Structure 1
Amino acid sequence: MSEDPPFISAVDLFCGVGGLTHGLVRSGINVTAGVDLDPHCRYPFEANNAAPFIERDVKDLKPAELEPYLSASKYSMLAGCAPCQPFSTYSQSGRSRKRGMDWRLVLNFGSLVADLQPDLVTMENVVQLADHAVFSEFLDSLKGYAVSWAKVECTRIGIPQSRKRLVLLASKLGGHGLDLTPQFVRSQRTVRQEIGKLPTIAAGEQHPRDPLHTSSSLSETNMKRIKASKPGGTWRDWDPDLVAECHRKVTGSTYPSVYGRMEWDAPAPTITTQCFGYGNGRFGHPTQDRAISLREAAMLQTFPRNYKFLKKGEQVTFSRLGRLIGNAVPVRLGEVIGKCLIEHVHAFERGEAEVAGVGISEQLGRLF
């Protein structure tokens, strides 16, 4: 990467704890601010990224408030991942009530793009978004931009979990050079490679030097269950007396992935907001009799091992931290997006607008 000062300034909308921001910064993009309405995101965002956290609801933002943060470099960029609860298949509670509000956030993002006209735009979201009318409405806000989007399998870019995401790239500089080439591809990473060197802890234990390396406690029954579980297996491997009553019913037989262990030499399952619970998915540690720790979940999301989520002396709250980690954009995905956009701008500045005549969609297809 060039040692020249960053020439792209970005604002990260719906920034959360800074997964996308941290990846963009690693790529060489200057993230000048992050916006989120959750006050619990402030400390991890600001403690790990040299940018201010703006505690605001994106739907209440005025374009003029963001303009100073977008003018710090030659090129400007809006980035973000609007909350995706309407499309979640994990929890059905409250979906109809929240749907209109959360879909509106995607359109609020589009309205800010239309008003601010940044040079570059990227949006990351759940793949189901592409099948809904709100996505077409968002695309309508990108008039004058070259646009491409793809459904990305995260294991193909070095993220050690099976996670599919929609990634959209848009540019006012044209579609040339917007090329997610194999130079950014890493071989598939495994659970062992990512978390295999962390210290051993027991269920319900917290490591004395890393408060985030803490795991939830297990009931007597669940301790028996995890001891009977093998990596990659399911509760169907257990003795019948350990199987939960709900899974003995016909309707429960379709949920084989709960109460499972991860495999050392394979990617993890998708890290969700409930990843700290052994009974919530295949979140059992491959060999230790416990669910994965919060630190392990964060590392499987490709956060650095030293990423700060807690102030000194702050108590661990599993539900809050699980939500912040599970909802984050994997850092590695942000880094790949950033590198692609930097290469795109370099290509534009080299005057390669017509080189090879390859469209964005075809170029994205090389990788995904």
Structure 2
Amino acid sequence: MEKIKIIDLFCGAGGKTLGFVDDRFCGNFESIFAVDSDKSAIETYNKNFKHKGILAEIEEILTSGVSIPQADVVIGGPPCQGFSLLNRNRKEDLRRALWQPYLEIVEASGALCFVMENVPALLKSIEFENITNQAQKIGFSIKSGVLTAADYGVPQLRKRAFVIGWKANKLMPPLFPPTPTHAAPEKNSTLPKWPTVKEAIGDLAPPVGTSIRDVPPPYDLQFGRNPTELSLKRYKAVPPGGNRFDLQRNAPEITPNCWLKKKSGGTDLFGRMWWDRPSPTIRTEFFKPEKGRYLHPAQDRPITHREGARLMGFPDDFVFEGSKIEIAKQIGNAVPPRLAGAVARCLFDMLKKSK
């Protein structure tokens, strides 16, 4: 069977594309068209894939006369900030509406199916109802669900919503959600246990500098911050699995006043990862421990960019372009390739059976 043609909208650095086209994850697809508005992300995408992505806003693709190629599958994750719990007060966020040009390109491409990925809150929004209604109008049936990345071999407890659309008059329904390949340690399962932080990054030596170095992978991204003496003391006050509340108890004299006044709240802030568990969700500022549970399990520092990339499941031979902040954004915004690969295999089985 020849390669199945995909279009990747909002492609970012290419985590979704990698999951679909790389034999390590699926490999039965080829990318023929990709778009993103982030310059450094497109530079990363173009460094890693044969077909080059286009730097543009998705609306520009529809109005600029660019020819939409015919494809079998459209994949993409319209920016999720409008649905995010971290952005709950911005009800009129225009990023919510980007599913509309996404579906216009799905229709123009003649695709038989599509995959839309977003934060879990999408599935409880009025926009999801609108997406479903519009998809049905252009001939698609819909399945949706929330997948946990660790269930598919990613060392990270990331949860993402997936919406699968398929032409019911041409295809059999997909077997979605994909069958998990891994299981939580507490489950009585014959599947391998969730991969852990130690399995993902335990072999890496500590960072030796604070800038990108001209060395081979994996150490090209194994750089850290340059903490102040005060920050270093704060890191040391957090025990394995601890968080800002341990800092408050162990060293109140160096705890920020705003944390001392806040006696409750999330337990991941300024938290230290566990060796024997998957990591929490890797977001775009994972190099800042004040943003989440991003302290190294055993060393008094935040995780490095290489460690963030590995916890997302990117192979060491995947090349990132851009500044440190831009690369971190690409990593945190990506779909883990192994998770994308599980969805890709689900679609491949549907297309193979139907053909």
TM-score by length of 2: 0.86
Following superposition of structure 1 onto structure 2, how do residues 154-303 of structure 1 map, counting pairs within 5 Å?
154-172=149-167, 173-182=170-179, 184-185=181-182, 187-201=193-207, 204=210, 209=215, 210-237=219-246, 238-250=250-262, 253-303=264-314
Following superposition of structure 1 onto structure 2, how do residues 1-368 of structure 1 map, counting pairs within 5 Å?
4-6=1-3, 8-26=4-22, 27=26, 28-62=28-62, 65-68=66-69, 70-71=70-71, 76-90=72-86, 96=90, 99-143=92-136, 144-172=139-167, 173-182=170-179, 184-185=181-182, 187-201=193-207, 204=210, 209=215, 210-237=219-246, 238-250=250-262, 253-310=264-321, 317-349=323-355
Give, in whole Å, the separation in 2 of the partners of 1:106 and 1:91: 18
Aligned length: 331
AA of the residue aligned to 1:188: W
Give, in whole Å, the separation in 2 of the partners of 1:214 and 1:262: 18
Report how far residue 166 of structure 1 moved: 0.4
Give, in whole Å, the separation in 2 of the partners of 1:204 and 1:115: 46
Give the conservation status (yes or no) of the 8 Å contact 1:113–1:141: no
Give, in whole Å, the separation in 2 of the partners of 1:195 and 1:81: 27
| CA gap 1:206/1:61 in 2 versus in 1, 3 angstroms | closer
Deviations 1:85-130 (A, max 9, x none): 11233467xx639x44201112221222234341110111001011
Give, in whole Å, the separation in 1 of the partners of 2:238 and 2:157: 21
Aligned residues: CA RMSD: 2.2
% same residue: 29
Give the conservation status (yes or no) of the 8 Å contact 1:204–1:218: no
Give, in whole Å, the separation in 2 of the partners of 1:206 and 1:113: 39
Greater CA deviation, 99-108 or 45-54? 99-108
Which position in structure 2 is the counterpart of 1:357?
none
Give, in whole Å, the separation in 1 of the partners of 2:297 and 2:269: 14
Give, in whole Å, the separation in 2 of the partners of 1:36 and 1:328: 12
Segments of structure 2 that go 5 or more residues without pairing to the other structure are 183-191
| CA gap 1:169/1:318 in 2 versus in 1, 3 angstroms | same
Deviations 1:132-187 (A, max 9, x none): 11111111222222320101121111111111110111211334353545375563
Give, in whole Å, the separation in 1 of the partners of 2:143 and 2:174: 12
| CA gap 1:66/1:100 in 2 versus in 1, 3 angstroms | farther
- Aligned residue for 1:148, secondary structure, equals strand
TM-score by length of 1: 0.83
Give, in whole Å, the separation in 2 of the partners of 1:192 and 1:66: 47
Give the conservation status (yes or no) of the 8 Å contact 1:204–1:216: yes
Give, in whole Å, the separation in 2 of the partners of 1:183 and 1:33: 29
Report how far residue 201 of structure 1 moved: 1.8
Deviations 1:178-229 (A, max 9, x none): 3545375563111111111122225746666233211122121110111121
